[in-house]
A and B are shown apart, each in its own frame.
Chain A
Amino acid sequence: MSLLSLTGVSTFYGAIQALRDVSLEVNEGEIVTLIGANGAGKSTLMMTVCGSPQARAGSIVYDGTDITRMPTLLIMRRRIAQAPEGRRIFGRMTVRENLIMGAEVAGQSNIAGVMDEVCALFPRLRERLAQRGGTLSGGEQQMLAIGRALMARPRLLLLDEPSLGLAPLVVRQIFSAIRTLNRETGLTVLLVEQNAHQALRLAHRGYVLVNGAITMAGSGLDLLARPEIRAAYLEGGG
């Protein structure tokens, strides 16, 4: 059953069209990745799902409800959580406070319990709970951003370029944590990535976005094997 489905979505920034007639499906329990070059509209798509900016045409249905015209803050309270691009953690607040922020707004009452789960997934965060977010390394900050999103116990996790600016080893750690989550809790993940190779290997299915339109779709391994993908995104391309 599809948890999130976009049908013919078009998004504009003023007069500039960023998304052209995009349709995609994310099924319950799947990891779906969206790959594409800089400026292809990947982040725009993710933000359109969150309602900021809102889609000008088309419809976005989440869990049977049309959320196309819903304000962001209501969308984010429907157990959709986002780890935004560039991590955007609260630098001067402690790691614990960062995590609490993720739970509080979502109305999560069992904060200590969920925090334990998140710390079990990212043990580094447990060590640094009393430290300021801004003093963490890039990889730890990304873990914190994902952990903060997970504090809401979401059904759908939106990840915007979690590998941005991180060492390959750290990227592998984070991706394996995502895989674990998906396997063990059945969390549905929509992953936006430039790191096409890693993302396609992790995901069940993938979409390729070029200039705001989806040009290819298929299973992760299938896309990975296609020569045009290899040429454009894998071999020194993207």
Chain B
Amino acid sequence: MMAALRDAFLSAVIALGLFVPMVGLVLDNGDRGLVLRGRPIAAAVLVGLVFVGRLVMHLWADRPGKEARTIRASKIVPKAANRFVAPILLAAAVLLPLTGSRYYVDLGTLVLTYVMLGWGLNIVVGLAGLLDLGYVAFYAVGAYSYALLAEHFGLGFWICLPLAGIMAAFWGVLLGFPVLRLRGDYLAIVTLAFGEIIRVLLINWVSLTHGPNGITDIPRPTLFGLRFSMDDGDDTVAGFFGIEAETIHRVIFLYYLILALALLTNWVTLRLRRLPLGRAWEALREDEIACRSLGINVTTTKLTAFATGAMFAGFAGAFFATRQAFISPESFTFIESATVLAIVVLGGLGSQLGVALAALVMVGGLEMLRDLLSTVGEQMGSEWFSGLAGDLPTYRMLIFGLALVVMMVLRPRGLVSGRTATAEMR
């Protein structure tokens, strides 16, 4: 008990050191420039939470009867989870636009974009075991490929979608070649640098990319040649079907588009896993030397993993560009790579369902928490809650970190641990 108290106190001291500058001090716009304002109560509350939480953790770990429990071996096949959760999630995803709420459909589109990126990165990190910290680069390549092809050649979304994927895959191979001999941390550093190179290139190559100003007026996608537009032409969706034109039509169309793209990613991954190539990726993650001794072509195996992962990021990038109608290098910073990687790791490396759940929690959950806090703030007329809601995006990394630490403690192998075998009894 004494030891637990002392440890909790030490944790609180560390928390104090962290939270005073991070939370306790705020820069505000004053009458004459910036003013430093103190926020001692918020910092104190957080430090108190750390103290209590650490104490509870100790008491929980030392509770009587703990020793009798043995560590559960992780199950090979999380069958029950896959059987029920995945179809329910899929059904919910398909039915979501029926709510007619623009907020939820928009949020769903955002979540699905990250689900797709997570599934794409999962091929590289989860299956092939190549730690890629610059995944956002391929997302950017896809987005800019579409934006530039549309701007200079007037190409539409559906022609550019495969081109963006091919372009990104090409860059994936280009990155793959120099890093063939690297593993683990070294690979991570080089891919991190690659992600930054692409972003800096986009900022500085002003003549091509318009630099920091980004590219505007990126064309929206069409449905078999029909535009989503408010005017009443024959070539608009509304005009063709003879319905009232509403902006939500396009929002829902975009939602189903990313849902289809994400499901395509999932389907391809699941198919590839059962093919020799997919098995070779996994074998590569397990043991590269054993792969060589079996005569596997390690070079092509790695490059195809990079290329396939990058291709899906390229698709997602093209989708992002067409959805936003505006892109700039700011959308492709390291934080995006980190978010997607966190989603893959939290989900459980290699688990498709886990990645979807993690994206839902990390992207959707955070957004909804912010919304909830601001609603509560308005209802209660409390400055404090509204302020917290406004600050929440700033604390995103803090919450990510916290979630990762909690996961390390509770489920070190990710939300859905264990992999499904690629070959079953026949």
The answer to whether A52 touches B292 (Cβ under 8 A) is: yes
Chain B residues with CB under 8 Å of A39's CB are: none
Q: Please provide the chain B residues from 382 to 426 with a CB less than 8 Å away from any CB of chain A in the complex.
A: 419, 421-423, 425-426
B289 to chain A, nearest CB (A): 6
**In the bound complex, what is the Cα–Cα distance between A77 and B295 (angstroms)?**
6
The answer to whether B297 touches A93 (Cβ under 8 A) is: no
The answer to whether A94 touches B276 (Cβ under 8 A) is: no
Of the residues A72, A88, A101, A131, contact of B76 by C-beta under 8 Å: A131
The answer to whether A92 touches B286 (Cβ under 8 A) is: yes
The answer to whether A105 touches B292 (Cβ under 8 A) is: no
The answer to whether A90 touches B283 (Cβ under 8 A) is: yes
A44 to chain B, nearest CB (A): 14
Report the nearest B residue to A90, measured CB to CB.
B286
**In the bound complex, what is the Cα–Cα distance between A93 and B221 (angstroms)?**
42
The answer to whether A130 touches B421 (Cβ under 8 A) is: yes
A210 to chain B, nearest CB (A): 26
Report the nearest A residue to B349, measured CB to CB.
A92
A73 in contact with B282 given A90-B287, A96-B423 (CB within 8 Å): no
Of the residues B283, B289, B425, contact of A101 by C-beta under 8 Å: B283
The answer to whether A90 touches B76 (Cβ under 8 A) is: no
A3 at the interface (CB under 8 A from B): no
The answer to whether B76 touches A93 (Cβ under 8 A) is: no
Report the nearest A residue to B298, measured CB to CB.
A73
The answer to whether A96 touches B421 (Cβ under 8 A) is: yes
The answer to whether A76 touches B76 (Cβ under 8 A) is: no
Chain A residues with CB under 8 Å of B426's CB are: 112
The answer to whether A76 touches B279 (Cβ under 8 A) is: no
Chain B residues with CB under 8 Å of A75's CB are: 295
The answer to whether B287 touches A100 (Cβ under 8 A) is: no
Report the nearest A residue to B285, measured CB to CB.
A92
Chain A residues with CB under 8 Å of B285's CB are: 92
A153 to chain B, nearest CB (A): 13
The answer to whether A73 touches B293 (Cβ under 8 A) is: no
A220 at the interface (CB under 8 A from B): no
**In the bound complex, what is the Cα–Cα distance between A76 and B279 (angstroms)?**
18
The answer to whether A104 touches B279 (Cβ under 8 A) is: yes
A73 in contact with B296 given A84-B290, A88-B289 (CB within 8 Å): yes
The answer to whether B296 touches A105 (Cβ under 8 A) is: yes
Q: Mark A85-116, 1 if CB is under 8 A from B, else 0.
A: 00011111110110011101110000010000
The answer to whether B293 touches A84 (Cβ under 8 A) is: yes
Of the residues A77, A82, A94, A104, contact of B293 by C-beta under 8 Å: A82
Q: Mark A63-82, 1 if CB is under 8 A from B, else 0.
A: 00000000011111100011
Q: Mark B208-233, 1 if CB is under 8 A from A, else 0.
A: 00000000000000000000000000
A115 to chain B, nearest CB (A): 10
The answer to whether A88 touches B287 (Cβ under 8 A) is: yes
B1 at the interface (CB under 8 A from A): no
A94 in contact with B423 given A131-B76, A148-B294 (CB within 8 Å): yes
A50 at the interface (CB under 8 A from B): yes
Report the nearest B residue to A80, measured CB to CB.
B295
| Top 4 A-B residue pairs of the complex, sorted by shortest distance between their CB atoms | A76-B295, A88-B290, A90-B286, A82-B293
**Which B residues are closer than 8 A to A by beta carbons?**
73, 76, 276, 279-280, 282-283, 285-287, 289-290, 292-298, 419, 421-423, 425-426
30 pairs of residues in contact across A and B, judged by CB atoms under 8 Å: A73-B296, A76-B293, A77-B295, A82-B293, A88-B287, A89-B286, A89-B287, A89-B290, A90-B283, A90-B287, A91-B287, A92-B286, A93-B282, A93-B422, A96-B421, A97-B421, A97-B423, A101-B280, A101-B294, A104-B280, A105-B276, A105-B280, A105-B295, A106-B295, A112-B426, A129-B425, A130-B421, A131-B76, A135-B73, A152-B294
Knowing that A76-B294, A130-B425 touch, tell me 13 more A-B residue pairs with CB under 8 angstroms: A72-B292, A72-B295, A73-B295, A73-B297, A76-B295, A94-B421, A96-B421, A97-B422, A101-B280, A101-B283, A105-B295, A131-B76, A152-B294
